[in-house]
């Protein structure tokens, strides 16, 4: 039987293999695709998906605090301030247990391909909206 070592908040491990588990992860379980927030309407959906996957792969190498505190202009990760957006009430149609968690966004690339919006809980970024046209601020 594989005994687990005590884990500190900074270093977690996968239980079954002992691999590091303290890097940012992504979940799409809360994804809401709409006419406003989705990639299907983009001019080049295939290129958008390539860019999205490349960005998710790059960000997946960051620890959560690196993501939260990053000042990198290429990432532009920050919390949402809903008052300055078209969605003053925040994310609609979320299950009650997801209400009140920090809403975040990051960009896919500088001035192109828009943003990804979601909820950050522990080390998991739950993607809610894909915003290739940057419509949250229009």
Average pLDDT over residues 104-116: 83
Per-residue confidence (pLDDT) for residue 18, from 0 to 100? 66
Per-residue confidence (pLDDT) for residue 11, from 0 to 100? 63
Asked if residue 8 has pLDDT above 60, the reply is: no
Residue 52: how many CA atoms within 13 Å on its side-chain side? Answer: 20
Q: How many whole angstroms separate alpha carbon 110 and alpha carbon 112?
A: 6
pTM: 0.82
25-27: strand order across its sheet: 25-27, 124-131, 112-121, 103-109, 78-79
Average pLDDT over residues 68-90: 87
Express each pLDDT in 15-65 by its tens digit.
666 666 788 999 999 999 888 888 777 778 888 888 899 999 999 999 999
Architecture (CATH level 2) of domain 25-87+100-137: 2-Layer Sandwich (3.30)
Domain locations in the chain as residue ranges = 25-87+100-137
> Average pLDDT over the chain, rounded to whole?
83
Handedness of CA 97, 36, 64, 73 (dihedral sign): negative
Strands (DSSP E) contained in the chain are 25-27, 78-79, 103-109, 112-121, 124-131
Per-residue confidence (pLDDT) for residue 38, from 0 to 100? 82
Asked if residue 6 has pLDDT above 60, the reply is: no
Asked if residue 86 has pLDDT above 80, the reply is: yes
Instruction: Give every CB contact of residue 77 below 8 A, 6+ residues apart in sequence.
Output: 67, 68, 70, 104, 105, 106
Q: Can you list the pairs that 69-74 forms with residues at least 24 positions away whose Cβ atoms lie under 8 Å?
A: 73/110, 74/107, 74/109, 74/110
Asked if residue 1 has pLDDT above 60, the reply is: no
The secondary structure of residue 133, as a DSSP letter, is T
């Amino acid at each position: 039987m594989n005994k687990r070592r005590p884990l500190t908040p900074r270093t977690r491990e996968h239980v079954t293999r002992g691999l590091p588990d303290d890097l940012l992860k992504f979940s799409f379980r809360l994804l809401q695709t709409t006419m406003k927030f989705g990639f299907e309407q983009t001019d080049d959906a295939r290129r958008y998906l390539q860019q999205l996957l490349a960005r998710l792969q790059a960000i997946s190498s960051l620890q959560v605090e690196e993501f939260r505190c990053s000042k990198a202009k290429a990432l532009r990760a920050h919390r949402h301030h809903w008052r300055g957006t078209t969605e003053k009430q925040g994310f609609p149609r979320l299950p009650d247990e997801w209400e009140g968690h920090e809403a975040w966004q990051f960009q896919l690339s500088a001035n192109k391909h828009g943003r990804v919006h979601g909820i950050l809980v522990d080390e998991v970024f739950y993607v809610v909206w894909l915003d290739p046209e940057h419509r949250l601020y229009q």
